[in-house]
Amino acid sequence: PRPSAGVLPHIPDDLTIPQFQLDPQFIDQWRPKPLGDGPWLIDDASGRKVSVPQLRERTQALANALSTHYSIGEGDVVLLFSRNHVDYPVAMWATHRLGGIVSPANPDFNASELEYQLSATNAKLLIVHPEAVQAALTAAKARGLAQDRVLVFDVDHVKPPVPSLVNVNSLIQKGSRMRNVPERILKPGEGKTKLALLSFSSGTTGRPKAVAIPHYAVIANTLQLSSHSRLLDDSTKWEDRRFRPGDVSIGVLPLYHIYGLVVNLHFMLYAGISVVIVPKFNFEGMLKSIVRYKITHLFIVPPQAVLLCKHPAMASYTGKLNSVRVIMTGAAPLTDELNTMLFALFPDAHIGQGYGMTETCTVVTMWPIDMKRGVSGSAGELIPGARIRILKPDGSLGTYNEVGELLVQAPSNALAYHGNAQATKETFLDGGWVRTGDEVRMAPDGMLWIVDRLKEIMKVRGFQVAPSELEGSLLDHPDVSDACVVGVPDEFSGEVPLAFVVLSADAAARLKKASASASAALEDIRASIIKGKQASKPRWSKYRS
């Protein structure tokens, strides 16, 4: 660490996430005093605010109902299949209060993708967004889960397609009239192994796997970020603070992904910063909300930076976005060009990158907080508590300026791939080191540069895409006998998949015939053009199929 780096405080290993995040005896002990009665979670569309004490009450009430009516308890997995929602954290923390584990899923999954996650986690209950009900019911049925194990978040003006399903709000009402169920208390040290989350990641290869994340990991990363950003250091002047109680961030990142969940929810609330909860990212909607809520903090992925730099709607927002003081991108590389454009667009803001992965329960490096801007192109410096090794291709350890695979040891590291000993052995090494599959170089000034991705995974709009999963889908098609998927660069998405396929003999024969007809059609058209006549429609349509 540089001499000016933050000091890591004690990381409690006997607290659950909701105790740490919601209970005044813990949160008030460490975090800076909030301003007024904030921070809040704010529903983007309605502007409805929920304070931390209200979150605590709703969490307790839902825990009462989940325990009494659904018998959720020690070790049970609750799968959240939803867009962002103000009750998303309530559902998560209620499960934690009961000793349960939360597995967050991408709300755009189809029924078979969800079924895979349900089966990998052996989930007992699904809490879903009304738009995701159909897929949830199909997947639940395939897994033999009864329909009444699907609960629905309440969304104004959106009626769930199956009215008989129970909604979360009514359960909270019921639970608030019940006697409080006892909460799960951890023994000293137990936080390091007691699972809180099963988040999905492919790691270095193959299909997504359930990453076993204990309570301690989320608390650790929150405190690491706090110390990196000098949140707990009273000597940092107010004007120099990047994160101040009373600030407002916008939650356009999905909460089912670790970046949104840890950085934009747990770290923000801990820092006393409110979060505007946005169910679905929409660029012009985000601009309107930045103005409406005077947003100070933007946590985004590079494609959203592309929009900020290049979207035509930005023309009508000149001078209107100056409430924004901090912009952090992460989850995929940010090009030098975009970095420079962002600096020009927000000349007064602190702008930089963070780097990390689901397996390290989020942030490993971040731009140096005492610098106004990160070094363009660099992922920043290690945050307190994180240690790295650089493994050179010959198997020896590298030093500054040498390129090799990054290994990370951090208090926030996950424990394993749940139920997958083989994959665990390859990624979670002895001594608590996680293999990242990223090729990096550390400059002598402590800045980390991500040089390349050694692993098979591609990053499409910041999301992991496993080529092997797409190859598997292609191989399911009767006309395909082999397939290979690679990533190709794309200005907006970072990367997009490109598939090469070998057709089955039968399909190849059909294609040959079709292309012979297509060439004949083209010949006809060319001939007719040469003759100065337009190709007649009926003749063309004969070949089109």
Binding site for ligand AYL (CB under 6 A): 201, 258-259, 263, 328, 330-333, 353-358, 362-363, 366, 379, 436, 438, 450, 453, 459, 464
Task: Compare residues 60 and 222 and give the one whose CB is closer to ligand AYL.
Answer: 222
Give the chain's length: 545
In the Cβ-directed half-sphere of 364, how many Cα atoms lie within 13 Å?
Answer: 31
The minimum distance between CB 453 and ligand AYL, in angstroms, equals 5
Name, in order, each residue with C-beta under 8 angstroms of 302's C-beta and a sequence gap of 6 or more. 329, 331, 332, 333, 334, 335, 338, 462, 494
Closest residue to ligand AYL, Cβ-based? 354
Return the SS3 of 408.
Answer: strand
The minimum distance between CB 369 and ligand AYL, in angstroms, equals 12
Query: Terminus-to-terminus CA distance in the chain, angstroms?
Result: 64
Asked whether the beta carbons of 290 and 321 are under 8 A apart, the reply is: yes
Task: Compare residues 181 and 255 and give the one whose CB is closer to ligand AYL.
Answer: 255
**Single-letter code of the amino acid located at 335:** T
Task: Compare residues 43 and 247 and give the one whose CB is closer to ligand AYL.
Answer: 247
Distance CA(214)–CA(117), nearest Å, equals: 19
DSSP summary character for residue 447: -
- φ and ψ at 470, to 5 degrees? -65, -40
Task: Compare residues 272 and 354 and give the one whose CB is closer to ligand AYL.
Answer: 354
Task: Compare residues 39 and 260 and give the one whose CB is closer to ligand AYL.
Answer: 260
The minimum distance between CB 223 and ligand AYL, in angstroms, equals 15
Q: Tell me: cis bond preceding 39? Omega within 30 of 0 counts.
A: yes
Distance CA(111)–CA(138), nearest Å, equals: 6
The minimum distance between CB 426 and ligand AYL, in angstroms, equals 14
Distance CA(406)–CA(428), nearest Å, equals: 13
Task: Compare residues 289 and 464 and give the one whose CB is closer to ligand AYL.
Answer: 464
The minimum distance between CB 213 and ligand AYL, in angstroms, equals 11
The minimum distance between CB 452 and ligand AYL, in angstroms, equals 9
The minimum distance between CB 82 and ligand AYL, in angstroms, equals 19
The minimum distance between CB 342 and ligand AYL, in angstroms, equals 14
Task: Compare residues 140 and 253 and give the one whose CB is closer to ligand AYL.
Answer: 253
- Give the pairing of strands 433-442 and 448-453: antiparallel
Q: If we measure between CA atoms, which residue out of 146, 69, 148, 63 comes closest to residue 100? A: 63
Task: Compare residues 90 and 407 and give the one whose CB is closer to ligand AYL.
Answer: 407
Q: Which residue has the tokens 């359960």?
A: 171
